[in-house]
Structure 1
Amino acid sequence: MANPWLAVDERTPPKSRARLLRTAWEGFVESDGPPSDPLSVRAPIAASWGRCQDAGVAHQGDAVAPVVADEDETAARWSSHPLQAVRPLIEECLSPIMDGSHLVVVADARGMLLWVDGPVTVRRAAEAMNFAPGTLWSEAGAGTNAVGTALAADHGVQVFAAEHFHEQVQTWTCSACPVHDPDSGALLGVIDLTSRMSTVHPHALSVAVATARAVEMQLRSSMQEDDARLVERYGDRVSTGRGARALVSPHGRIITANAAWRRDALRVERTDEDGRFAVAGASATDVESLHHGGAFVVGPSAGPAPRRRGAPAGPGPLRLDLLSPTGPSAVAAGVEVPLRPRQAEILALLAASPDGLNVERLGAGLYGDGAKPGTVRVEVSRLRKLLGPWLTSEPYRLTAACSCDLRTVHDLLATGAVREAAERYGEGLLPQSEAPGVVRVREDLLAWVRESVLQSDGVDALWAWVDGSGGEGDLIAWSRFLGRLSPLDRRRPLAVARVRRLRQRLAAPA
Structure 2
Amino acid sequence: MNLFNTASAKNLQTTHLINQHTVHAAPVLALPPEDKTSLFRRSIQHNYADLLKIADDSDMAIGLTDHQGTLLWTWSSSAMLSSAEQVHFIEGGHWSTQAVGTNAIGMALNSQISSCVYSHENQMDSVRDWVCYAAPIWDPTSGQFHGIINLSTKYKKHTPLGLLAVERCADLIQRAIKFEQQNFLYIKALGSPWVQFNGQTLNLSHRQIEILCILALNPHGIGLEELHYALYGERSVSLKTLKAELSQLRSLLPHSIEARIYRLSCEVQCDFLRAEQSLNANLISSTFSLYKGSFLSKSESPLLSTWRHCFDARLSQLIYQIKDIDQLLRIIGQTHDRIDAVQRLLELLPQDSIHRNYFSNLI
Describe the shift of the 1:350–1:194 C-alpha distance in structure 2 as closer, same or farther (beyond 3 A). Answer: same
Distance 2:230 2:25 in 1: 53
State the secondary structure of the residue aligned to 2:156: helix
- Note if contact 2:138-2:145 (Cα within 8 Å) is conserved in structure 1: yes
TM-score by structure 2 length? 0.51
- Note if contact 2:142-2:199 (Cα within 8 Å) is conserved in structure 1: no
Aligned counterpart in structure 1 of residue 136 of structure 2, from 163, 178, 184: 178
State the secondary structure of the residue aligned to 1:183: coil
Describe the shift of the 1:127–1:75 C-alpha distance in structure 2 as closer, same or farther (beyond 3 A). Answer: farther
Look up the match of 1:151. Answer: 109
User: Is 1:140 aligned with 2:98?
Assistant: yes
Look up the match of 2:75. Answer: 117
Look up the match of 1:79. Answer: 37
One-letter amino acid of the structure 2 residue matched with residue 157 of structure 1: S
Distance 1:213 1:356 in 2: 29
- Note if contact 1:290-1:354 (Cα within 8 Å) is conserved in structure 2: no
For residue 75 of structure 1, report the CA deviation from its aligned partner: 5.8
User: Is 1:322 aligned with 2:224?
Assistant: yes
For residue 111 of structure 1, report the CA deviation from its aligned partner: 0.8
Look up the match of 1:502. Answer: none
One-letter amino acid of the structure 1 residue matched with residue 102 of structure 2: T
For residue 106 of structure 1, report the CA deviation from its aligned partner: 0.6
Provide structure 2 residue ranges, at least 5 long, that are not aligned to the other structure.
Answer: 1-16, 208-221, 282-363
- Note if contact 1:184-1:251 (Cα within 8 Å) is conserved in structure 2: no
User: Is 1:415 aligned with 2:267?
Assistant: no
User: Is 1:65 aligned with 2:26?
Assistant: yes
One-letter amino acid of the structure 1 residue matched with residue 87 of structure 2: M
Aligned counterpart in structure 1 of residue 63 of structure 2, from 105, 109, 120: 105
One-letter amino acid of the structure 1 residue matched with residue 74 of structure 2: V
Q: CA offsets, 1:255-282, max 9 Å, x none? A: xxxxxxxxxxxxxxx467xx965xxxxx
Q: CA offsets, 1:111-130, max 9 Å, x none? A: 11111112356323222122
Describe the shift of the 1:334–1:115 C-alpha distance in structure 2 as closer, same or farther (beyond 3 A). Answer: same
For residue 94 of structure 1, report the CA deviation from its aligned partner: 5.8
For residue 213 of structure 1, report the CA deviation from its aligned partner: 2.4
State the secondary structure of the residue aligned to 2:133: strand
One-letter amino acid of the structure 2 residue matched with residue 64 of structure 1: A
User: Is 1:354 aligned with 2:275?
Assistant: no
Aligned counterpart in structure 1 of residue 203 of structure 2, from 297, 300, 306: 297
Summarize the alignment of residues 253-402 of structure 1 with structure 2, pairs less than 5 Å apart.
270=189, 296-298=202-204, 322=224, 324=226, 334=236, 336=238, 350=247, 353-354=250-251
Summarize the alignment of residues 196-211 of structure 1 with structure 2, pairs less than 5 Å apart.
196-211=154-169
For residue 221 of structure 1, report the CA deviation from its aligned partner: 5.8
Look up the match of 2:217. Answer: none
Distance 1:108 1:412 in 2: 16
State the secondary structure of the residue aligned to 1:324: helix
Describe the shift of the 1:132–1:328 C-alpha distance in structure 2 as closer, same or farther (beyond 3 A). Answer: closer
Q: CA offsets, 1:88-114, max 9 Å, x none? A: 425415624523731111111111111
For residue 415 of structure 1, report the CA deviation from its aligned partner: 3.0
User: Is 1:130 aligned with 2:105?
Assistant: no
Summarize the alignment of residues 36-47 of structure 1 with structure 2, pairs less than 5 Å apart.
none
State the secondary structure of the residue aligned to 1:174: strand
Describe the shift of the 1:86–1:413 C-alpha distance in structure 2 as closer, same or farther (beyond 3 A). Answer: closer
Aligned counterpart in structure 2 of residue 166 of structure 1, from 114, 118, 124: 124
State the secondary structure of the residue aligned to 2:50: helix
Distance 1:356 1:145 in 2: 41
Q: CA offsets, 1:445-465, max 9 Å, x none? A: xxxxxxxx9xx55659xxxxx
Distance 2:146 2:178 in 1: 13
Structure ID, larger Rg: 1
Distance 1:293 1:219 in 2: 10
Distance 2:51 2:91 in 1: 21
For residue 156 of structure 1, report the CA deviation from its aligned partner: 1.4
- Note if contact 2:84-2:90 (Cα within 8 Å) is conserved in structure 1: yes
Look up the match of 2:152. Answer: 194
Distance 1:63 1:211 in 2: 28
- Note if contact 1:65-1:141 (Cα within 8 Å) is conserved in structure 2: yes
For residue 201 of structure 1, report the CA deviation from its aligned partner: 4.6
One-letter amino acid of the structure 2 residue matched with residue 181 of structure 1: D
Describe the shift of the 1:78–1:199 C-alpha distance in structure 2 as closer, same or farther (beyond 3 A). Answer: farther
Query: How many percent identity over aligned positions?
Result: 19
- Note if contact 1:173-1:195 (Cα within 8 Å) is conserved in structure 2: yes
Look up the match of 2:50. Answer: 92
Describe the shift of the 1:149–1:459 C-alpha distance in structure 2 as closer, same or farther (beyond 3 A). Answer: closer
Provide structure 1 residue ranges, at least 5 long, that are not aligned to the other structure.
Answer: 1-55, 231-248, 253-269, 278-288, 302-319, 339-343, 358-364, 367-403, 421-452, 461-510
Describe the shift of the 1:159–1:292 C-alpha distance in structure 2 as closer, same or farther (beyond 3 A). Answer: closer
Q: Aligned-pair RMSD on alpha carbons?
A: 5.1
For residue 147 of structure 1, report the CA deviation from its aligned partner: 0.8
Describe the shift of the 1:325–1:293 C-alpha distance in structure 2 as closer, same or farther (beyond 3 A). Answer: farther
State the secondary structure of the residue aligned to 1:215: helix
Q: CA offsets, 1:35-71, max 9 Å, x none? A: xxxxxxxxxxxxxxxxxxxxx974533543222x22x
- Note if contact 2:118-2:130 (Cα within 8 Å) is conserved in structure 1: yes
